[in-house]
Structures are given as structure tokens and as C-alpha cells.
Amino acid sequence: MPKHKFVLNGKSVSVDVDDDVRLLWVLRDLLKVTGPKYGCGLDVCKACTSHINGKAFNPCSVRVKDIKPTDHITTIEGLPATVGKDLHPMQEAWLEMDVPQCGYCQPGQIMAAVAKVKQARREGHEIRESDLDEIRNICRCGTYHRIRDAIAAGAKHM
């Protein structure tokens, strides 16, 4: 089987797996990194949201062969290390606001939130209501109000 290499949460990894296997299954089943959740497998529900080179993406819909050896993939497990702390400020805000209900969608929600704050800053502004409206991660428990409040609070400490 072909060998695929990339950087996962700051460490180089290498996997022997068919080219067409979606990255989510490489992360979860082969590398045992289970923060990114399986929801739809179609890039719709966004439960698996992670970062590629600092931007949000959905590994359920990316073939492992489309990942380059130099690509840096970050999952919720690796998020705190990006700021050199035990928890990322967005995770602290999530705890402070007691956001999760069942919790299934929450790793993806936090990863989407961090990417959206960074995107807003690259565009030269702080995160706005209209940016929050663009986050498409589904929460079956309907915790959207707390998610939005937590993103605003977390952004202040990023």
C-alpha cells in the first residue's frame, strides 16, 4: 500500500493506506486521534472540523493522497500546543460558558471558531456577527447561543 506522510499535531506521521481513503479514517482508525468526529462523511455537518495549515477543513471529504508531506494538520488534541498552554483560550471560554450539551459536535465547533477568528484577523478585523453566521457546524442539541457567546469571549484572549 502507498505510504503517506504529513505533520499531525506537530509530529511527522506516516501511514500505509490506499490513496482514496478519507483522511478522517486515517486520523481516527489508523492514528487513533479521535477528536474529529464522524457525522455525515459529506462535508456537511462539520463535526470533523480540523485545521490544515491553520485553516479549517473537513477531513471526512479529503483523500489521504491529497495531503502533502509538508501539510500541518491540527486536531482538537493539538490545539493547546499551538499556544503553548494546557488549554487554548477558546477552550477556556467554552468551559467558562458551559457550552456543550451532549458534546459530540464540540471539538469541531471549537476548531471552526479558532479558524474563523484567525480568518477575520487576516482580513483585518475582529470577528463579527456576520462571520459567526458563516460557521456551518451543526449542533443537534442546539447550543448555538452559547457557542456564539463563547467565540466572542474566547477571541478576546487569542
Q: How far is the CB of 148 from ligand FES (least distance, A)?
A: 13
- Cα 80 from Cα 95, distance rounded (Å): 14
Instruction: Give the residue with the Cβ less far from ligand FES, 21 or 99.
Output: 99
Which 8-state DSSP code applies to residue 11? E
Instruction: Give the residue with the Cβ less far from ligand FES, 112 or 139.
Output: 139
* Binding of ligand FES by 91 (CB under 6 A): no
In the stretch 122-141, what mask flags binding to ligand FES with x, by CB under 6 A? -----------------xxx
* Residue 128, SS3 per DSSP: coil
* Binding of ligand FES by 101 (CB under 6 A): yes
Q: How far is the CB of 138 from ligand FES (least distance, A)?
A: 7
- In angstroms, the first-to-last Cα distance of the chain is 42
Strands across the sheet with 50-52, in order?
11-16, 3-8, 72-74, 50-52, 55-57
* Binding of ligand FES by 103 (CB under 6 A): yes
Question: Are the C-beta atoms of 137 and 46 separated by less than 8 Å?
Answer: yes
* Cell 486536531 sits on residue: 75
* Binding of ligand FES by 102 (CB under 6 A): yes
For ligand FES (CB under 6 A), the number of binding residues is 11
The secondary element (H helix, E strand) that includes residue 94 is helix 89-96
In the stretch 50-89, what mask flags binding to ligand FES with x, by CB under 6 A? ----------------------------------------
- Cα 158 from Cα 146, distance rounded (Å): 18
* Binding of ligand FES by 143 (CB under 6 A): yes
Q: H helices within 32-135, ranges in order?
A: 89-96, 106-122, 129-133
Contacts with ligand FES, residue ranges (CB under 6 A): 100-106, 139-141, 143
